[in-house]
Amino acid sequence: MPDSPVTLKDVALLAGVHPATASRALNLETRLLVSEETANRVLAAAAELEYHPNAVARSLRTRRSNTVGVLIPDLNNPLFPPMVRGLADRLENHGYVALIGNTDGDDGRGRRVFEQMRARHVDGYVLATARLRDALLDDAAHSGVPVVLMNRIAADDSFPSVSVDNEAGIRLLVDHLVALGHRDIACIAGPQDVSTGLARYRAFRSAMADAGLAVPDSRVAFARSFSIEEGHRCAREILAADSGCTAVAAGNDMLAVGCYQALDEARLSCPADISVVGFNDMPFIDMLRPPLTTIAFSHYQVGAHAADLLLDRLNGHASQPKVIYVLPTLVIRGSTGRSS
Amino acid sequence: MPDSPVTLKDVALLAGVHPATASRALNLETRLLVSEETANRVLAAAAELEYHPNAVARSLRTRRSNTVGVLIPDLNNPLFPPMVRGLADRLENHGYVALIGNTDGDDGRGRRVFEQMRARHVDGYVLATARLRDALLDDAAHSGVPVVLMNRIAADDSFPSVSVDNEAGIRLLVDHLVALGHRDIACIAGPQDVSTGLARYRAFRSAMADAGLAVPDSRVAFARSFSIEEGHRCAREILAADSGCTAVAAGNDMLAVGCYQALDEARLSCPADISVVGFNDMPFIDMLRPPLTTIAFSHYQVGAHAADLLLDRLNGHASQPKVIYVLPTLVIRGSTGRSS
DNA sequence: TTGTAGGCGTTATCAC
DNA sequence: GTGATAACGCCTACAA
C-alpha cells in the first residue's frame, strides 16, 4: 500500500454519509452543524483510513493556502536562522507553513522568488529584505495579501514591522565607549539604503554630538553590504586615512569581524590599541578573539513577533500598521577597553 | 488593481481561443500541438494581462505540487544553512520550492512536520535528520514519493544519500595528530544512533589501531547530541577521568567548541596543553580562539548533490539508490600543535 | 441535521 | 490544430 489516495469520499463511504457531511464533521468550525453521533462515526472512519485532507484541493476551494512566503537576504548570515525559527515555529502552531526564499540582496532573485510565492498563492509575506525605497515592497503591498517586515523596516511606517531599537542600541554602545575614555571613535556604517544601516549611522552621529564629540569624515566608511569583506575593506580605509581613532563602531557584527581582520593585518591589537563594537550579538560572535562587545536582542522574538503581526492580519484583525521595537541590551565583552 | 484573479479563461478570451488551447500554448511541452500563430497570440495575451498560472489548481490537476519537503535537525546549526542553500538553489532552478521544517531532534516534531508536508502533497523529501534506525524513514519510504538523505545516511543503503566520507576525514585527523607526536588521544564521540556519530567513532578506533595506539575507555565520552553543551560535558568527563591525553578528537565542530570551554575552565591551554580537532569546518569556526583544525567539505555541494539525486527520481530516472560521498579535506589551523 | 449541486483553475482525453 | 468536456478533492450555498 505505497500510495494513499484516501479521499473524503472514501471516509464518507465508510461512515455511510454524504461527503459533504463528512467534510462538516471533519472541520472544527462546522462540526456543530452535524449530529454528535454521525460526527463520531465520520471521525472514526477517518482515523481508520488514516485520512489526511488534501491541502491542495482545500486551498483551491477556500482560496487560502495556509502558506506564508518569507524572503531572507541570506540564510548563511547567522542572524537569520533564529528569526526564521521564531517565525516558523509560531506560524506552524497556527497551521501555516513557511516558504523560505533567499535573495542574496539581488533584486532579480528577490522578484523571482516573490513571483514563485505569489503563484503558489501564499496567504501573506514576511520580508526581511526591505530597503528603504523598494519596488518589491510596493508590489507586495498591492498583491492583495498581508505583508509584514522583519528586522529591516521601510521608510514610512506603512507596514507592520518588527525591528530592534537601533537608536537605543547605538546610544548604549557610544555611551559605553565614551565611559571608557574614548573620544576618537570611527564608524563603519552599513548600507544606507536599508533601515538598519541608516538608523544606526544617524544614531551614531547624534549620540556622538550629544557627547560633544566630532566625527570627521575620515573616520567614517560606508559598507556596501553587511559582510565581512566590506567590514574588512572599510576598516582598512579608516586605518589608512586616519591616525587618531581609538575605537571603531561597526554597523553590525559581520562588519566588526571584517574589522578584526584588518586590525590583525595592521598588527594592531584589540582592545589594547583599538576597541571594536558590533551590533546584533549574532550566534558564535562571543567565541571570537576577542569576544565582541555588541548589542544583543532576541532574534527569535523578532521572528515570533513578525509571525504574530501577520497572523493578526490573516485573521482579519486589521489594526493600524505598527512597528514593534524589541529591546536592545549592551553586552560588554573583551573587545572594548579603556582608551589608550 | 490590487487583486489579480486573472485566470487562464481571461487569457483565452482575449486571445480568442478556448481555454484548453491557451493552456497548451502556455506549456512548453504541449506548445508544439498548437499553431505558431495562435501560440503567439496567446502568449501576447498572457503577457498583456500579466497572467500567472495558479500553481494550486495546477497541482490539483497534475498531482504534482512542484514542492519538496526538507527536514533539518536545526537551522541554527551553522552547518545546515549552506546545505539548505545548495539544495534550494538547485531545486529552484528546476521549478521546485523547498518546504523547510525543523525537528530539533525530536521525533514528535519530526513526524508532525512530515505529516504537514505530506498533506501538502510534496513531490519528494530530503531528510537531514536520519537516524540509523528511524521509523520516520520507513514511513517516508512508504509514502509513495522519492526520498533522499542528506548529511546523515541510513543503516542500509536503501536510500539515495549524500554525505561526507567520514572514514577518510577521521583518518586525516588522526594521522595529523600522530604526525605531531600525539599518542594519547581522547575522543568525544557524537550520538551513536546517527551515521555521522557512529562512522566517525568507528573510524577513530580503527585509525588509532592502525597507528598502534590504544584507546582506553577513560578517554572516550559519548555525547547525546552534537551540541556545545554536550561537548562541554564530555570534555569535563574526560579531563576528570584521565590524566594523560594530549589531544582530543571531537565528533564535530560543535563538540569541539564545548571542549574549548572545558579547557578554559580547567585553565588548560590549546594547543600548548591539549590539541583539539573537530569535523565539518562549519562557518565561523575559523574565527575561534584558537582557530580550529578540522575537516572541511563543501556543505553547499552536499545540498546540491542531494537536490540532483532527488531531481533524478522526480524525473523518473530511477537508478539504483546510491550514496554519494563528498571529499573531505584536512584544514590545519591553530588548535593543533606538537605533543608536549 | 443531512443531501444536492456547483465550482475553485487547470490540464487530459476525447472528438471534430 | 482546436474545441468541448470532465475531473483533480474539497467546501458551501441552498434545498430538503
Task: Calculate ∠ Cα B120-B125-B127, nearest 5°.
Answer: 130
Q: How far apart are CA A270 and CA A289, in angstroms?
A: 9
Nearest-10 Cα torsion for A108, B85, B309, A122: -60
For testing contact with chain A, the best of B50, B89, B232, B284 (most A CBs within 10 A): B284
Q: Is domain B166-297 given the CATH code 3.40.50.2300 in the classification?
A: yes
Q: What is the mean pLDDT of residues B126-150?
A: 93
Model confidence over B34-65: pLDDT tens digits? 999 999 999 999 999 999 999 999 999 999 99
List of chain A residues whose C-beta atoms are within 8 Å of the C-beta of residue B284: 78, 284
Smallest Cβ distance to A78: which of B54, B78, B118? B78
Q: In terms of CA atoms, which chain A residue is nearest residue B3?
A: A144
Q: Which residues belong to CATH 3.40.50.2300 in chain B?
A: 65-163+299-327, 166-297
Model confidence over B74-104: pLDDT tens digits? 999 999 999 999 999 999 999 899 999 999 9
| CB-CB contact of B302 with B163 (8 Å) | yes
Query: Phi/psi at A126 (nearest 5 deg)?
Result: -120, 120
What is the third-level CATH fold of A8-53? 434 Repressor (Amino-terminal Domain) (1.10.260)
Q: What is the mean pLDDT of residues B283-295?
A: 93
Flag if A78 and B284 touch (Cβ within 8 Å). Answer: yes
CA-based radius of gyration for chain A: 26
In the predicted model, what is the mean pLDDT of chain B? 94
Asked if the C-beta of B9 comes within 8 angstroms of chain A's C-beta atoms, the answer is: no
- CB within 7 A of strand D: which residues qualify? A 5, 7-9, 19-20, 23-24, 26-27, 30, 53-54, 57-58, 60-62; B 16-21, 24, 33-35, 37-39, 57, 60-61, 63
Domain A65-163+299-327: CATH class, spelled out: alpha beta
User: pLDDT value at position A129?
Assistant: 96
Q: What is the mean pLDDT of residues A205-231?
A: 96
Selection from A81, A284, A100 nearest residue B76 by Cα: A81
Q: What is the mean pLDDT of residues B119-132?
A: 94
Q: How far apart are CA B302 and CA A94, in angstroms?
A: 32
Q: What is the pTM of this model?
A: 0.92
Instruction: Band the pLDDT of B193: cuts 50, 70, 90.
Output: very high
pLDDT higher than 50, residue B2? no
B334 burial class (0-12, 13-18, 19+ CB within 10 angstroms)?
middle
Smallest Cβ distance to A56: which of B60, B116, B289? B60
C14 C1' to B143 CA distance, Å: 33
Model confidence over A17-37: pLDDT tens digits? 999 999 999 998 899 899 999
pLDDT higher than 50, residue B319? yes
Q: What share of chain A has pLDDT > 70, as a percent?
A: 99
Q: What is the mean pLDDT of residues A75-97?
A: 95
State which nucleotides on strand C lie below 7 Å from a protein beta carbon.
1-5, 7-13
Q: Which residues belong to CATH 1.10.260 in chain B?
A: 8-53
Asked if the C-beta of A88 comes within 8 angstroms of chain B's C-beta atoms, the answer is: yes
Model confidence over B239-253: pLDDT tens digits? 999 778 999 999 999
Smallest Cβ distance to A120: which of B55, B81, B88? B55
| CB-CB contact of A274 with A248 (8 Å) | yes
Q: What is the mean pLDDT of residues A268-275?
A: 96
Nearest-10 Cα torsion for A37, A43, A44, A47: 180
CA atoms within 13 A on the CB side of B68: 30
User: pLDDT value at position A142?
Assistant: 87
Residue with cell 525559527: A85
pLDDT higher than 80, residue A242? no
State which nucleotides on strand D lie below 7 Å from a protein beta carbon.
1-5, 7-13
User: pLDDT value at position A1?
Assistant: 37
pLDDT higher than 80, residue A96? yes
pLDDT higher than 90, residue B129? yes
Instruction: Band the pLDDT of B4: cuts 50, 70, 90.
Output: low
Q: How far apart are CA A107 and CA A184, in angstroms?
A: 37
